[in-house]
Structure 1
Amino acid sequence: MSLKHTLLEIISKRPLIIDGAMGTQLQERADKIPDIAWEGLEGCNELLNVTCPEVMSDIFHAYLTAGADLITTNTFGSFSWVLDEYGIGHRSYELSRAGAAVCKTECDKFFTPEHPRFVLGSIGPGTKLPSLGHIHYDEMFTGYLECCLGLIDGGCDIFLLETCQDPLQIKAALHACEAANRERGTELPIMVSVTIELAGSMLIGTDAQTIATILEPFDIISLGFNCGTGPEQYGKHVRTLSEVWAKPISVHANAGLPQNRGGYSYYPMGPDEFAQLQCDFLNYDGVSFLGGCCGTTPQHIRALVDKVSSIAPKKPSGAMKPSIASLFNSVELIQQPAPLLIGERSNSTGSKAFRELIIASDYEGTLSVGQAQVRDGAHCLDVNVEFAGRDGAVDMAHVMRLYNQKIPLPLMPDATRVNTMEEGLKCIGGKPIINSVNLEDGEERLDAICSLAKKFGTALVCLVIDEKGMAKTTADKMRIADRIYDLCVNRHGIDPRNLMFDMLTFTVGSGDVEYRDAAIQTLEAIRQLHAKYLNVGSTLGLSNISFGLSMNARVFLNSVFLH
């Protein structure tokens, strides 16, 4: 049985308990840490994995004695761009591996078949937010990968991405965990825990509903909350998550809101009060992992174990309608009332104003085009920067970084070149929808784009075009849709709810007899699509139906066709 299934089996009977704070325990043992152990870098706690492992063992021993199931490694900042601040970025692998190894040694001492103990590899957010341009995805991914490899080699059982503040940081870390698993031939489950501040969102501005939308496509064992506040403040966020998240939920909160006493943080909540408030989270469907964060001690964990060990968590029951998201909010793909309105002015092919801004490399200026579409009521924004003679990947990265930060709507990266698409996705913290895939050039490009959609957790627009061209008849439209659906779902494992089919339409104003019934062919294809595939969505370049007619006539024809 895989570890993932073992964990799921345990939480069907009782909650799994995560240990408590590391920092407060180190402070309590400050007199046991010789000055030489800091190597002149006091504050770099990860160094102690190598220079003072006996103190680390003592802390783990205390939490294991208290009854914790999951023991977090002392590797919260054990990756290059954080360690670089101390001049030891090159020691990431060493410190990560040592951090997991010392934790594993203690867990093994307590492990029994009746009460197994697991090493939870702590992976923090670091000190830079990629959505604010502090660090590029590639650098963050590389640093996380080195840390993850060290954790695996040291004996880690589960990855924990904790105290997350930026969804784009989470994506880079998830990709590093997945890459490390592939490289080592392992299948360590991944837990994700975000920090919601008192303002009601993550530091970057993402709330509980939106982070659930963003992370729904990813293969993680749980999503939850830690740090930031005490358990009292997390109630409404846990309730929201329970309603929309279909997997287990974790909560390991602080021992109350921190207070400043003599320049030091003080956490006022005692073990019994903390245990009761944490226990209350078990009233919500899906809450299965409980523990402590800042200010909690082995006494807090002991009280929590005593309080909840005989309570069976409620099964997850959350459900989410197919949605996409920006950093700041979610948008359902099936709008009530319909339709989903896609803003298409941020497109160098269709907008002269946008194209001139791209040619001038006036990336800040492109924001005005996007913001105008927000004001006009668009639900999401198509962004296409590709233009002959320019490096689309460079332009896409510049524009998407700005749109990711400043535009409150979900984004639709639109590119013909795969590398341009990938660079755009590396800059988007939300859940975008890729525009688009088809079979015009066979399956190779579709496979490449589907791989990106799966990796980055996106929705996907699918055009009914194959090697022979754009499908004209209902039968051809459905034939190609069947083929694309099979490739996306069965070859690439994309959830059908994340597929939007564009059944395409041709103008009825060409005078060509072949296209006289183009509107009817498209409408029937849409009907058949939804009758056959109940979970997919559909979209359409509506105004193509009236191409070539006078502007006055187009308004009426478009309106009737939309109705």
Structure 2
Amino acid sequence: MSAARIDALREAFATRVVVADGAMGTMLQEQDPTLEDFENLEGCNEILNVTRPDIVRSVHEAYFAVGVDCVETNTFGANLAALGEYDIPERVFELSESGARIAREVADEFTASTGRQRWVLGSMGPGTKLPTLGHAPYVKLRDAYQRNAEGMIAGGADALLVETTQDLLQTKAAILGARRALDATGADLPVICSVTVETTGTMLLGSEIGAALTALEPLGVDMIGLNCATGPAEMNEHLRYLARHARTRVSAMPNAGLPVLGKNGAHYPLSPAELADAHENFVRDYGLSLVGGCCGTTPEHLRQVVERVRDLTPPARDPRPEPGATSLYQTVPFRQDTAYLAIGERTNANGSKKFREAMLDGRWDDCVEMARDQIREGAHMLDLCVDYVGRDGVADMEELAGRFATASTLPIVLDSTELPVLQAGLE
């Protein structure tokens, strides 16, 4: 790890527009790797870091050759959920380290040959499990993301990019796994978070961009932004929100438009010039610090983006944060037009006999219905307290916090005198 190189990346984020690469998977597949190259794990692109580093190198070289400042490592699926589906979860560190090492070697070669510093962003993808829906335990995901990040730090990544996130609990697992890796290794890298907002206007599980910002910014990320799912046009209003309210720097890596189905399958219609136009406008309007491409974008797309934004200085932003709390779905500002913030207390085992009896009987649906009653009556947030003598508070909190997270649109106020109970609710 080079402290001077990482300091230079932070300085670049602060003073100009940094350009990242575009799509990775399609360019790997275009080189027609064999089933043997995949070690009979067809579609596991991260295996190519070990079996065919030449293919992975060639993709990085193609992007650096058109002038991008940084490339993402071929580690999008180097996490517990994705590698677990191939029955190789124990290879998270190995494939993360090898992916970062390949990118680092290519970046250093281009730095030496051009005299311009190039960087490596360590890609931490979402995997295939949504912990909010109970697909995988939060702690296991977090600890595997820590190994993912530790591998990329060992391989020479300059920043950690938590990307394409669809579930805020999965996003937290990745960010906190990254931060634990930085603490464990003594490294000091920027942590970037890029969420994916669908054409519906929310993340996959229904989270608005305000909910994402309120939930993720306090975790200490250096930058927040959007990537994947849509083209730049559909990202516009969400980027406007981030530019207006985020204390961090802001990024955007859209697809080359929305996919169009044709007789030869899906293709992405946005031309290189149109992507360059969009990024120029984003930089001028929203002061973006990092731009790039996602699905459907090619080296030619990024060549034109580089030409268009290379000499732009992002305007200074004057963010106006909105202090608040968030549920899975929406953020609730602490400042209310009604002049006070109403916290519903009827889901408190010490304050509500009806709730306590339902909890003691394991009538969880009744507990959820009491929460919904308070939503209908105008509460802004819900107090959740399961403390009761003789009960397993951790088990009760896991049961009810998990149910409330998806059944209620309101933020939850976790209320307990016991630290393990609060931890269970947060996880």
User: Which segment drifts farther, 255-264 or 210-219?
Assistant: 255-264
What is the identity, as a one-letter code, of the residue corresponding to 1:326? S
SS at match of 1:249: strand
> What secondary structure sits across from 2:54 in the alignment?
helix
Q: What is the DSSP-based 3-state SS (H/G/I as helix, E as strand, rest coil) of the residue aligned with 1:216?
A: helix
Report the CA distance between 1:216 and its aligned residue: 2.5
Q: 1:240 aligns to what?
A: 241
1:26 aligns with 2:28: yes
Q: CA deviation at 1:87?
A: 1.4
Runs of 4+ in 1 over 6 A off after TM superposition: none
Give the equivalent residue in structure 2 for 1:410. 411
SS of 1:250's partner is: strand
Partner of 2:270: 269
Q: Report the counterpart of residue 225 of structure 2 in structure 1.
A: 224
Asked if residue 64 in structure 1 is aligned to residue 64 in structure 2, the reply is: yes
CA offset at residue 5 of structure 1? 4.7
Report the equivalent of 1:397. 398
Deviation of 1:364 (Å): 2.3
Q: Which whole-Å CA distance do the structure 2 matches of 1:302 and 1:189 have between them?
A: 25
Describe the superposition over 1:296-344 as per-residue Cα deviations: whole angstroms up to 9, x where unpaired.
1111111100111010012232211221111111112132232111100
Residues in 2 aligned to 1:324 and 1:406: alpha-carbon distance in whole angstroms: 17
Unaligned runs of 5+ in 2: none
1:358 match: 359
2:338 aligns with: 337
Distance (whole Å) between structure 2 residues aligned to residue 348 and residue 62 of structure 1: 60
| Matches of 2:322 and 2:54, distance apart in 1 | 50
**Amino acid across the alignment from 2:174:** A
Q: Secondary structure of 1:111's match?
A: helix
The aligned length equals 424
Kept after mapping to 1: 8 A contact 2:9/2:119: no
Confirm whether residue 111 of structure 1 aligns to residue 102 of structure 2.
no
**1:284-303 matched pairs, under 5 angstroms:** 284-303=285-304
Q: What is the CA distance between 1:41 and its match in structure 2? A: 1.2
For 2:94, give the aligned amino acid: E
Per-residue displacement from partner, 1:60-114 (whole Å, max 9, x unpaired)?
0010111111210111010122111111111111111111111111011012595
Matched residue, 1:101: 101
Show the counterpart of 1:84. 84
Partner amino acid, structure 2, of 1:126: G
Could you tell me how far apart the structure 2 residues matched to 1:391 and 1:289 are?
A: 47
Q: Secondary structure at the match of 2:286?
A: coil
CA offset at residue 162 of structure 1? 0.6
Asked if the contact 2:372–2:408 (Cα under 8 Å) also holds between the matched residues in 1, the reply is yes
Contact 1:191 1:223 (C-alpha < 8 Å) held by counterparts: yes
Q: Which residue of 1 is the match for residue 44 of structure 2?
A: 44
- Once the two structures are superposed, what CA deviation does each residue of 1:417-464 show, in whole Å capped at 9, x if it has no partner? 1100100011xxxxxxxxxxxxxxxxxxxxxxxxxxxxxxxxxxxxxx
Alpha-carbon spacing, 1:404–1:4, altered in 2? closer, same or farther (3 Å): farther
On the 8 A contact 1:13/1:311 being kept in 2, the answer is: no
C-alpha change, 1:12 and 1:383, in structure 2 (3 Å) is closer
User: The residue matched to 2:280 in structure 1 has which SS?
Assistant: helix
The 5-angstrom pairing of residues 147-226 of structure 1 reads 147-226=148-227
Q: Aligned partners of 2:80 and 2:160: how far apart in 1?
A: 18
SS in 2 for 1:64: helix
Aligned to 1:224, the other structure's residue is in SS state: strand
Cα displacement (A) at 1:24: 1.7
- TM-score norm. by structure 1 comes to 0.73
Q: Distance in 1 between matches of 2:333 and 2:53?
A: 50
- What is the deviation of 1:243? 1.0
Q: For 2:54 and 2:24, how far apart are their aligned partners in 1? A: 14
User: Is 1:9 equivalent to 2:4 in the alignment?
Assistant: no
Q: Percent identity?
A: 39
Paired with 1:335 and 1:4, the residues of 2 have a C-alpha distance of 41
Backbone CA RMSD of aligned residues: 1.5
Greater alpha carbon shift after TM alignment, 327-336 vs 134-143: 327-336
Give 1:54's aligned residue.
54
For 1:25, the aligned partner's letter is: M
Contact 1:73–1:100 (8 Å) recurs in 2: yes
Matches of 2:15 and 2:346, distance apart in 1: 54
Greater Rg by CA: 1
Deviations 1:160-199 (A, max 9, x none): 0010111111111111111101111101110000111000
* CA distance in 1: counterparts of 2:334 and 2:5, whole angstroms: 35
How far 1:13 sits from its partner (Å)?
3.8
Alignment partner of 1:313 is 2:314: yes
Q: Distance in 2 between matches of 1:8 and 1:51?
A: 33
Tell me the equivalent position of 1:249.
Answer: 250
CA contact (8 A) 2:145 2:174 kept: yes
Equivalent residues of 2:239, 2:286 under 8 A apart: no
What are the superposed Cα offsets for residues 352-410 of structure 1, whole Å, 9 maximum, x if unpaired? 11111111122222101100000111111110011111110010011000111110111
CA distance in 2, matches of 1:204, 1:263: 31
Matches of 1:3 and 1:378 in 2, distance apart? 49
TM-score under structure 2 length normalisation: 0.96
Contact 2:256 2:268 in 1 (8 A): yes
8 Å contact kept, 1:247–1:316: no
